[in-house]
Amino acid sequence: MYSVLVVRTAEPSDLRPSSDLTARARIRDAAIECFAEQGFGASFRTIAQRAGVSPGLITHHFASKELLRAECDTEVLRRYRTIKTDSVDAPSAHLLGNLATPGVAAPILVYLIRAIQAGGAPARHFLEQLMDDARTVMARGVASGLVRPSRDEEARLRYLTYQSMGALLVQFLTAPDQSPEAFVASMRTAGRDTILPTLELFTEGVLADRQLLDDYVQYMWQPPDASSDATSGATPDATSDAVQVTDADLDADRPARSATA
């Protein structure tokens, strides 16, 4: 559900004609496209040719590849941020719109993937910014009733972000054609086979009952006393009334756990 409703890229309408852009913005947009196509090893010469400027002008505006990438990261995240609200306000329309129309700026999606694939401190910073944006969307989803609340919202958010971006990265690394347009086209075709199991998984779950969850939650909030168990030779009874932990107990205990985390 996170991949279907949240991780989506900018629409072509979000992009202005290149004639309306400053030289700096043209360089930035050309760099986004080149980084998406070739990775962050794309040269200033390649970017300059795409932007219709001299390599020296790139150096004048950005000084280094690191500073150019930082501005590209900011712009990609801005475009990504602008198209997420409708996924909560009208989730079915958002989903069906994805099925009916191509509407994806391919370089933006592939840039997201390459930013994570590159690794290192820039990738960690980029991922944290993705999670900052997703945090707002998930909170809104919970408040609207679309998404169930979690015992640990932050842990769930991090898991879903890793799962979503990890799945995109695996698909990208194993794609026969990694050009942005071809990759997005292949994802759109494959997506029709993954939406149903994704919705089933996030709506109905996988496990037939909640025993594993109850046992884990009980253990984490009230673990058995190992010394007394060893002395008595008894096995802790996960269903004992004496150690039952309710959701109300978890709510009362959560602030204390967060403060010590």
Q: What is the CA radius of gyration of the chain?
A: 23
pTM comes to 0.72
pLDDT value of residue 193: 76
The last residue of a domain, from among 177, 204, 231 = 204
Of the chain, the percentage scoring pLDDT greater than 90 comes to 43
> Do residue 198 and residue 237 come from a single domain?
no
**pLDDT above 70 covers what percent of the chain?**
68
* One domain for residues 187 and 132: yes
Indicate whether 198 and 220 sit together in one domain. no
Q: Do residues 116 and 232 share a domain? A: no
How many domains, the chain? 2
Domain encompassing residue 108 = 2-204
Q: Are residues 108 and 62 in the same domain?
A: yes
Question: pLDDT band at residue 91, thresholds of 50, 70 and 90?
Answer: low
Give the mean pLDDT of 42-54: 95
Can you give the pLDDT at residue 194? 79
Among 16-25, 37-46, 61-70, the least confident range: 16-25
Q: What is the pLDDT of residue 65?
A: 94
Helix axis angle, 106-117 to 153-173, nearest 10°: 100
249 plus 135 within the same structural domain: no
What distance in Å separates the CA atoms of residue 118 and residue 78, rounded to the nearest whole number?
Answer: 20
User: Is the confidence at residue 217, as pLDDT, over 50?
Assistant: yes
pLDDT at 252: 52
pLDDT band at 175; cut points 50, 70, 90 = very high
Q: Is residue 18 part of a domain?
A: yes
Q: How far apart are CA 148 and CA 151, in angstroms?
A: 10
Separation between Cα atoms, residue 230 and residue 12, nearest integer Å: 65
Pairwise CA distance, residues 178 & 172, whole Å: 7
Residue scoring higher pLDDT (10 or 195)? 195
* CATH code, 192: 1.10.357.10
Task: List the structure tokens of 213.
Answer: 């969850």
- Average pLDDT of the residues in 181-206: 83
Q: What is the mean pLDDT of residues 79-89?
A: 64
State the alpha helices, DSSP H only, in the chain.
Answer: 2-5, 23-38, 44-51, 55-62, 65-82, 85-89, 91-100, 106-117, 120-144, 153-173, 180-204, 211-221, 226-232, 247-260
pLDDT at 75 over 70: yes
The pLDDT of residue 225 is above 80? no
Alpha-carbon distance of 15 to 25, in angstroms, equals 11
- Region of poorest pLDDT, from 96-100, 130-134, 138-142, 219-223: 96-100
Over residues 86-105, mean pLDDT: 52
Do 25 and 71 fall within a single domain?
yes
pLDDT bucket at 121, cuts 50 / 70 / 90: very high
- Decide if pLDDT at 164 tops 90: no
Verify that 82 and 29 share a domain, yes or no.
yes
